[in-house]
Copies of this chain bind each other. A is one copy, B any other.
Amino acid sequence: MQKQETLTKNQKIILDLIEKSDQPLKAYSILFDVKKKGINAPLQVYRALNKLVKIGKIHKIESRNAFIACKNSKCQIANATIFSICESCEDVTEIHDHKLSEHLRDFKDNKGMKYNKYNLEFFGLCKKCV
């Protein structure tokens, strides 16, 4: 299982931090928080983030340039993500909807594209913000 890959020191530090937050964190806010642990430079953060994204431990919220932990232990698929984003309070939730995922996985365009990944972001207002 790819997700149990052993992580390096920096990767662990940064994953820990992201997993403790239920909301997306930005790279430079992560950098600020891990300086006390000896991570000093943006590149150290970005390298860890890129790796963690690649192995599916975290996802990037593209519209927000922020990173959130994947809470779904069953989700092997680092490359098929659906998020719900409240445009008022900025609350982000990962969506796991079997039917929708299936629909997206099975999607074929008419140009012969060979897909291996997708990212879907829904925007709106959450219950609290309506």
Contact = CB atoms under 8 A, between A and B. Distances in A.
Interface in A105-130: 107, 109, 111-127, 130
Q: How many copies does the complex hold?
A: 2
Nearest to A123: B117
Contacts of A126: 111-114
Interface string A45-63: 0000000000000000011
A114 B130 contact: yes
B118 A114 contact: no
A26 to B, nearest CB: 15
Interface of A: 62-63, 79, 84, 86, 93, 95, 97, 100, 103-104, 107, 109, 111-127, 130
